[in-house]
Structure 1
Amino acid sequence: MDFKLNQALEVLERTPTTLSHLLSGLSDKWIYQNEGGESWSPFHKIGHFIDSEKTDWILRAKHI
């Protein structure tokens, strides 16, 4: 599949709402639990998404 910005935006713009719906109302056990070892919890994974969004967008914009 060739990359097309408008098609990528269809998915990316829905991501925050989708994650919110998937995780809202869950107990802290679900939010903060990882699968062991070096795996990440949903809380830490979303934190990584946010951090990446803040720091990586310039490189992505230059690529596009």
Structure 2
Amino acid sequence: MSATSKCMLIYNLVCCCLWTVILFTSLQYVFNKEKYPITTFWSNYKNIITITQSLAIFEIFFTII
């Protein structure tokens, strides 16, 4: 396995883990809207959502290349 393949594997694993966290976080908000208003929800999870969106941009870029 070449170094590029290993790096892409690690990158894809990290992306999958982050997307899974975002999925469960979003489901938590959907099922508990009354307990978690959007203002507190966004401030608590803003960083992880932003990081995941940034990784999605890189994922599109790597797919094009």
Higher helix share: 2
Q: Do these two structures clear the TM 0.5 threshold for a shared fold by scoring above it?
A: no
